[in-house]
Every structure is written in C-alpha cells, then in structure tokens.
Chains A and B, each alone.
Chain A
C-alpha cells in the first residue's frame, strides 16, 4: 500500500478532502493529512510518495479514489505529475510557504526535518538586540496591511524598560480575499510559533497570545494542537531547549468583529472587553496588552522571521523591489480560474498574478475590476494590471497592497453596488467610537442609493465625495479612514456604473 497525502486544510476539506482521505484509508493506504500547497483549484489534491518524489492527482473526488493507480503512480486523467514541477508552484518564490503542504502540520519532528527551528536555535544563542538587528536588516515590513518596519517596532519594545512584556499575533484575518494566515495556522503552525518565540527572545517577553477569528475553527484547533506539540518538545514553556529562556503561548478566539483586526481593538478584545479602538499614543509597543510593552504582528510577519534568522536578513532582503523587501504571499481570489496562494517577491505585476498564475476569470468573461488589499482597498480597472505590486507603487496610485488579497471581478460586476457594500460593511463593523465612521457610513449607503436611483445625481455625487473626505479626515482608525478608498476608486475608474438609467425599484 502507498503513503499518500491529503490536506487537512479547511478549504481542501470544503471541497471533499475528508471523504477522499477516508476512501483512501479504506483501501489500506497510509494517509497523511498535510497542509495545502495552496493550489486550491486542484483541491482535493492527492499526492503519492514515490522514489522520484511526490506525484499528484487532482482535483480528486471520493468517487475517483478507486481508479487512482497509486501503487505505480501511473497515468490517469487527473495525474498532474511531480507536484513541485507544476508551473503554479515552480514559478513561485516560496520562502515563508516553503514547507506548507509538505509536512504533517503538527509534527515537531517533521518540522525539524524540513529546516524548522533553525531560526529559533540560532536566536537562542543571540542577544535580543542582535535578533532585532537581523530583522531590521531584512527590511521586513508588517504584512497585516500598514507595512510598518518590523525591526523598528521590535526595537521599541526591546528598549522599553524590563518587566512583563507580551508578544501578540494578529490572526484576525478579516479581509475578504485573504486566507494566507489561515493556511499558515492550518498548514505550518509551528512556523508561526517559532516566529513568535523568536520575537519573544528579541524583546524579552515571556508570554504571548494568538488572537484567531472565530470564523476559523480549524485554524484554532490546529494551532492549539501545534502549541501542545511544541511545548511537549520543549520549544515552548519554561527553559526552552534547556536554556534559561521561557515563552508561554495561548490561543484566544475572536467573536466575529472585523474591527478586532485593528491592533488596539484586538488588545481590548484580548483583555476581555468590547473591541473598540484606542487612541494612539500611547503606542502598543510601549503600552499595549494590560498596559505593558507589546509586540503586535500579523501572522505572515512572524512567519517570515524563522527564514530571516536561519538564512540571514540579507538573504531575505535580496528579494523585492524598492523599499518593499522580501516576498509576499499573494492570495488569488474571487472570480478566478486558478485561485490560490502565490508567494512572489514584491515587484510582480497584477497581470502576472491574475492572468499568468490565475488564468483569468472563472466565468471565462473579461476581467473588469480587481480589488486589492481587502475591503478597504481600491478597485482597479483591468487597464491597470501592469502595475507592480509593492507598497509605494500602490500607494502612489491611490491603492494599497494590504494583506495581499487580490479579488477578481468579471464584466458583470456592478461597481455602484460594490461601493455601496463598502459603506454597508463599514456601518456593520464600525466600533462606533467616531461619528464620521459610525454615521457617515450609513449616510454613504443612502447617498449611493439615491445616485443609483437617479435622484439629483450630480449633487449627490458631490455629497458622497464630501462625505468620504470627512471620513478620511475625521476617523480615528483606518476602518472609517479607508472605506472611502474602495468607494472613490469605484467612482473614479467606473463612473459609468454611477450614471446608468435609474433602476426600476423592484427589479
């Protein structure tokens, strides 16, 4: 019987991976539940181990299982060949996702066999300041959206007076079109643990939390399992690997509030309170969780750190464009033929991702709009697909890279409806602290409805633009502050959708 791999990733499970794994086990195969390779259009992806590497079949249904020639890894209509040679994988630059899909996510020995804990091992022999210097050297910027230099943040916490400090991972991943954090937590959670432990050593923290959104039950379960494995193997807890260093890590569930992805709202939530945004200053690096100096980073920021420590900051910095160094795990989503995770160095163009990797739309119709960077990101027209993805290029174009989510819409999209949804989402998810966000978003929905209905169109477009300006200027955080980005970009690039004949009310 053969050794086969079937992902335990929730997206793979969402299209039948459990049933496939069960059918394979029934036939007597040794089934290992790995993470996903991120080629979701091929899930459930079954890989069989052979002398020449892992041969893949996909997408496989439970009904296909009996016909798979696994013992010979032979021909079959679903045979994809050696998975590493698949162009979708081969043309990526996987630094962070190097191991995801290869290993058993919660096996410490598997992790260590594939280069795991090399970074932490190195960090255990370094002074905190030296770890911070390595991360600064790498040029790593926060992957949660704002792109703040990670090394500078860590230095602030490092330099804060000694005492209780915390390391918190922002795993709220609320942006539509993103799933890279989820993939890490379900597919290579030990990498996140390693990254957080390195951060703890760097700044002198002994306690950490991973704040995971409740919409991710699988990630929560896998993360807890991985923390238990790591602790059992002495990579977490007191006296890590027999040293005098200690780090304790706990998972906390969110409760369905997008705003808790904003770092200070997340802190409130971690303290058991309503997730309202705190004014800054004080910055969390100095007065964070329970008022103590706190490192807060996104999952992908922490996940980049083991590579930076094991290969050196300079190696990471070698990738990228301008001031955007390293790689970003882009997520191809929405109406796309080959959706999935594509890790590339900054500088790749939208066209290379959406057409090259993604293969165009799922529907087969023309691409009309692409929303990059989540619900607060701009809608771009297909004509801007040659733009390079890096923080500065996007900012200059009135857009943002954010967490690297890329959502494709075909020509049937109604951009006035998308603009309306951006306002509606803000109204639903506003923490309520400031008026422009709380009230402005509801007003925004009403004004867009009037525009669509053809009521005083020009006046209402002006009003909408003023309203957006007020939200941008008068909001405490980027929820209210950036909601105008999808709205105004939709108006700018797709004005015709706001100028259609008035729609019949009960269409």
Chain B
C-alpha cells in the first residue's frame, strides 16, 4: 500500500478524472456509487490511483471509498477487455440450460467467468438475472441484452466483438 502516493504522482490522469467526475456530482459523498460508475465508464476500471483523490474530493476516508469499491460486484479493479459479456447464471436461465451455456462459452473463449480473453477483446462475467427470464438463457453484451442465446448466436456475438 506504500506505493499509493507514488502511483498518484505517476497517474495524474486518474486523479484528475476522479476529481472532475466528483465535482459533477457536487462532491456529494452520497453520490459515490454514481461517481464510481462514471469513473469506470471513463477509465474502463477503478484504478487504485484514483481513490485518494476521490476520497479527498468527497471528504471521506480512503478506507471508506475502498470499502465501497470492493463491496459492489460492478466495480473492476483491473482493466477489462474491449467488450464485456455478462452471462446470466440465475434460476430462470438455468431452467433453459444456462449452466451448459456457460461451459460452452468458457470452452469457446478459453477463459473462465471473471477473466479476459488473450486477445483482450472480451471480458466474461457472471450475472444473476438480467430481467429477460421469459426469453432465457440471456446474456448482456456491453449493456445490450440478448435473449434465447444458443451456440450459434453466441458465436455471432463474439465475431462482432472481435471485428
């Protein structure tokens, strides 16, 4: 953890982004989740180097900010691939073969849930219900829902991500 200050010095971009986004929310500590979402959209993940600046802007302790970043599944601590594919693993999708779909996808992409493909094109993540349970199994590609997913549909999605 002693590297933080150095990282901060070396990463003005992260700190600046954090400060700017926090300011957009009037530096309100209750907007922390929104700020982190925006920061992640901007930088692709939540870099450690952004946290001290964020804490300072919101008048929170670093531990408080850190605690929030680690509590929520959405926030990534490391850069992700160019595209994010979330695969639903919840019950309605299970009833339509989600477990088999996940295995098929993992074999196809040669990564496990939570990992990024070697070419950096795709980060694969688990989701627990995407609200598409009448058209299961479902995945979400960069925020766009896809229903009734099968091997063929999935291969098309991946081809688009890689194109």
Contact = CB atoms under 8 A, between A and B. Distances in A.
B72 A179 contact: no
Nearest to B29: A272
Contacts of A214: 37, 74
Nearest to B139: A14
B94 A333 contact: no
Nearest to A219: B131
Given A253-B33, A272-B68, A375-B91, A333 B128 contact: no
A176 B93 CA distance: 8
A257 B129 contact: no
Nearest to A15: B147
A421 B91 contact: yes
A252 to B, nearest CB: 7
A215 B140 contact: yes
B30 A179 contact: no
Contacts of A173: 129, 131
B96 interface: yes
Interface residues of B, number: 44
Contacts of B37: 214, 253, 255
A290 B64 CA distance: 17
Contacts of A269: 33
Contact of B133 (A179, A218, A255, A275): A179
Given A255-B73, A256-B73, A273-B68, A11 B131 contact: yes
Contacts of B96: 334-335, 362
Contacts of A175: 129
Interface residues of A, number: 61
Given A272-B32, A410-B95, A14 B147 contact: yes
Contacts of B33: 252-255, 269, 272
B75 to A, nearest CB: 6
A422 to B, nearest CB: 9
A10 B91 contact: no
B144 to A, nearest CB: 7
B23 interface: no
11 contacts: A14-B148, A40-B135, A175-B129, A177-B129, A274-B67, A276-B71, A290-B30, A333-B133, A333-B136, A334-B91, A425-B90
Given A178-B133, A334-B96, 14 more contacts: A11-B131, A14-B132, A14-B135, A14-B147, A174-B129, A177-B90, A215-B86, A333-B134, A333-B136, A335-B96, A335-B136, A375-B128, A407-B92, A409-B95
What are the 6 tightest A-B residue pairs by CB atom distance, in nearest-first order? A339-B134, A272-B32, A255-B72, A176-B90, A333-B133, A14-B147
